[in-house]
Chains A and B, each alone.
Chain A
Amino acid sequence: MADIFAFAETRNGEFRKIAFEAVTAARTLADASSGGHVHALLVGAPGISAKAAQLGTYGADTVIVVEHPGFERYNPEATAALAAERIKAGGYRVAVFPTSALGSDLAPRVAAKLGVGLVTDVTSVQMQGDLVVVKHPVNIGKVTATVNITSAPALVAVRANTFTPAEQPRTATIETAQPVGDPTASRVVVKEVKLGGGAKLDLGEAAVIVSGGRGLKARENFKLIEELAAAFGNAAVGATRAVTDDGWRPHTDQIGQTGRTVSPQLYVAVGISGAIQHLAGMRTSKTIVAINKDKEAPIFKVADYGIVGDSLEVVPALTAAVKEAKARG
């Protein structure tokens, strides 16, 4: 029997989807070890405790809630100190973190404090005897590594959109706990958070991504991409490095080796040739559509459905057809 820890990421007092994914991954591990418990850590400004019960839906047996005004925004040092102490005290076999801007900052701090092994961007995790065995993409996703973590606890950070949140409802025990030290005394302070429009879907969480490359010819033609994304309704907009380097789109929209790695249900590549650096960020998408005027473009080698043609003509037609299909239901 092994108890499992999960860090439940929030932003602005709301769970991020990856919080439920981390709890789901923890639940699966606990169940595989016959009768293990899942303890989730929820950290936030006063009032965050109102959200705690929701983690029970995804299989948390206990939710440890720590409220403090110093946790209104991400507080790296105080959160790491707290998570490390809870993990140490709880005697967990595995501690599950998100692979996200927050989780990728937090997990290595905690692992270093505890002196234990950590693997991030994990696509599967299992306990095998004394080992925790994970899968993790290396070499920009061209190779998959099976990795053994020998430390106890083992720290893993799960890849987004990989551990599908599964409802396994139970009434979680809510435990309140105190911060370690004074969260307002941290040396590293997030002074401000700017979010780009409330309704805009994040690339990591979108079911559909419509992405544009140099083939769009000009910055203003990106509005065709935005219109197609809007027609799908549940879509985010991505871009290639060439486009973000040219300043047509912010770097945060870049998909690829040095940008975001995404795995949506549907990835529509418009005017994108398909350089390996770009493929590294999207090759695990479930369905790939490519629209490009060059029929020799490498993107067509990975595209389930390719259309050879001028993006500026094909995309508006596709937008209209998607709207029509949506309207028909």
Chain B
Amino acid sequence: MKIAVCIKRVPDMDVRFKIAADGTSIDETGVKFDMNDFDSWAVEAALQFKDKDAATEVVVISLGPDAVQETIRKALAMGADRGVQLKTDKIPFDGLAIARALVAELQGGGYDLILFGKQSADSSNGIVGAMAGELLGLPVVTAISKLDVSGASGTAKRDIEGGQEFVEFPLPAVLTVDQGLATARYPSLKGIMAAKKKPLEVKAAQMGNPAVVVAALELPPERAPGRIIGEGVAAVPELVRLLQTEAKVL
């Protein structure tokens, strides 16, 4: 099998973000970056096919500045075979622009499966995978948390509000990965050494003009500071009183 995984480098969210002077981007000073969680699960899902059949080739593709090479190397260290950077100075917000650039690379690649994370932690639109699949004219199943492939077809589970959907699809297909499908392995030391020698091709990204542009970023209003109303069971009557008279939710 031949599997492509599209991954994104995103900021570590465990910080207090500052808006940059341009008003439309994040001040990256002191911000760490890593592979988007959902994307790391997509890489893991691909590698599990490779674990079962060593002839499987796993190609990781990432759009962005040269810093994304670090993210690609991480996927190679996990066990992917080769990487492709689609080079652009800045990752656009517009999902369709990103999808077009990825499709230019994916088209004609002969992939049986093309995997994406369900959504990125930074732009949080969750649309690139489905758009890319649609542009490629391939079957698409989004937000899968279970996957079985047998021959030229597959079944997947999608979590929906209050339940699950079980979906059948033919290969080749585009799938986006939700929590629960796979937990990402840590790169081994051997993997990290091997990754340095694996091929990483750099190509110019072909995106076209975006139709969606960030005009401004702002920090949402802070919640009023929290208040501890008491300790233990003794505080319960006061809580109920506040829920009734102040919050009016009871």
Contact = CB atoms under 8 A, between A and B. Distances in A.
Interface string B191-231: 00000000000000000001111111111100111111111
B145 A251 contact: yes
Interface of A: 16, 73-74, 76-77, 80, 100-102, 104-105, 107-109, 111-113, 115-121, 133, 136-151, 187-196, 200-205, 207-208, 232, 251-252, 254, 257-259, 265-266, 276-277, 280, 283, 286-290, 295, 299-310, 313-314, 317-318, 321-322, 325-326
Interface residues of B, number: 85
Contacts of A251: 145, 159, 178-180
B187 interface: no
Given A112-B99, A254-B179, A303-B226, A322 B213 contact: no
B243 interface: yes
A107 B134 CA distance: 11
Given A147-B212, A187-B169, A187-B170, A202 B161 contact: yes
B54 interface: no
B244 interface: yes
A34 to B, nearest CB: 24
Given A112-B134, A146-B214, A251-B159, A101 B125 contact: no
Nearest to A201: B162
A83 to B, nearest CB: 12
B141 A188 contact: yes
Contact of B13 (A116, A139, A304, A305): A139
A117 B94 CA distance: 7
Contacts of A194: 163-164, 166
Given A112-B130, A146-B218, A304-B227, A287 B243 contact: yes
Contact of A108 (B134, B170, B178, B244): B134
Interface string B146-167: 0000000001001111111111
Given A112-B134, A188-B167, A143 B161 contact: no
Nearest to A261: B124
A290 B227 CA distance: 10
Given A108-B131, A286-B249, A309-B235, A150 B212 contact: yes
Given A117-B212, A307-B236, A105 B142 contact: yes
A138 B123 contact: yes
Nearest to A193: B165
Contacts of A120: 124-127
Contacts of A203: 161
Nearest to A76: B140
Given A117-B211, A304-B226, 18 more contacts: A77-B139, A104-B142, A118-B127, A120-B125, A149-B211, A188-B141, A188-B169, A193-B165, A208-B249, A266-B247, A302-B226, A307-B230, A307-B239, A314-B232, A318-B236, A321-B239, A322-B250, A326-B250
